[in-house]
Structure formats: C-alpha cells, structure tokens
Amino acid sequence: MTSNHFELFGLAPRFAVDPAMLEQRYRSAQAQTHPDRHAADGAAERLVSTQRTVRLNEAYAVLREPASRARYLLTLNGTDPLGPGGHDLPPEFLMAQLGWREAMERATRAHRSDELARIDSQLAAESRAYGEQLAALIDVDHNYADAAAVARRLSFLAKVRADLAALIDELDT
C-alpha cells in the first residue's frame, strides 16, 4: 500500500480536494479490493484484500471531511494541530460557540427545526470560510502554524454541526 492517504487515491497532498474526484477514485479502488471480489482466492489473499479495504475506508473517511483532512495534512507536514497550545481557541470564537449552543438549545426546546436549520446554514458558511483559509494557508502559503489554528476552529465547528444534526434528527422523529 502507499505511504499516505493522498497517494492511495492518486491525489496531490492538498487541502483543496475535488470531492467528486475523491469519491470516484475511492469507488474505483474499492471495486478492485473489496473482499467479495476475492472470495474464491486463498486465505492470505482474502486477508490482504480485507486489510486494503479497511485502509481505503479509513483514508476516504479522513480525506472527505475537511477538518480531518486539514489535521492529516498538517501532520504530514510536521505540524501537530493538537500539540502544545493545540486546544487554544480565541476568546471571541469561544463566545460565538457559546452563542450557537444557546441558540441551539432554545430552538430545540421550542421545537423549531427551522431555526436549527438556519443555525446550521450559518455554521456551514463559517466552515466554508475556514476551508478557504486553509486552502490558502496550506496549499499556497505552506503556513502550517497558522493553518493549525484555523484547523482547530474548523474541527470545533464540525463537532458543533454534528451535535446540531443530531438535534435536527431528534426533532424530525
């Protein structure tokens, strides 16, 4: 197997990844290595096929999510986004996060899925803006220290959005 997730899919190690291209390369690789395709092979070949499938799935999961892709790229470039100071976030970001969480709580108590959707739209826009910053910092400037700070914010937003999606699902059921 190749040495990193990007090589596994024949992609350049960049933050800006074409999601459709990643999906297509994943599906193609998956079709070739899936254990069902090797059911008639010997035990060793089936084991290798299973291991390759697991590796493909793990790599795809990391690369398809912008926050995990950023962390992975930073790690490849010798920067640990969760290293010393890796949990520090600017006070204004933390205050905004508290505001989002309070708004989510109020909307949930009031059974306002439309309000939760509005919050999600706002957070999606914030996430896209962080993604654009990361593309510039990682792919163009190679400024991994500043990219690590942005990646931490994007990771935090991803967690808030996951919690928000769970609240929306809860209200919809």
Contact in structure between 157 and 109 (CB atoms under 8 Å): no
Range of the domain at 114: 91-172
Domain shared by 12 and 51, yes or no: yes
Query: The whole model's pTM is what?
Result: 0.87
Residues 82-130: pLDDT tens digits? 766 666 788 999 999 999 999 999 999 999 999 999 999 999 999 999 9
| 141: CATH | 1.20.1280.20
130/124 Cα distance (integer angstroms): 10
Domain shared by 97 and 168, yes or no: yes
Contact in structure between 72 and 14 (CB atoms under 8 Å): no
Whether 49 maps to a domain, the answer reads yes
39/131 Cα distance (integer angstroms): 41
| 51: CATH | 1.10.287.110
Helix boundaries (H) for 15-143: 19-33, 43-64, 66-76, 91-109, 113-134
Domain shared by 47 and 100, yes or no: no
Residues 138-167: pLDDT tens digits? 999 999 999 999 999 999 999 999 999 999
Whether 118 maps to a domain, the answer reads yes
Domain shared by 54 and 102, yes or no: no
Whether 17 maps to a domain, the answer reads yes
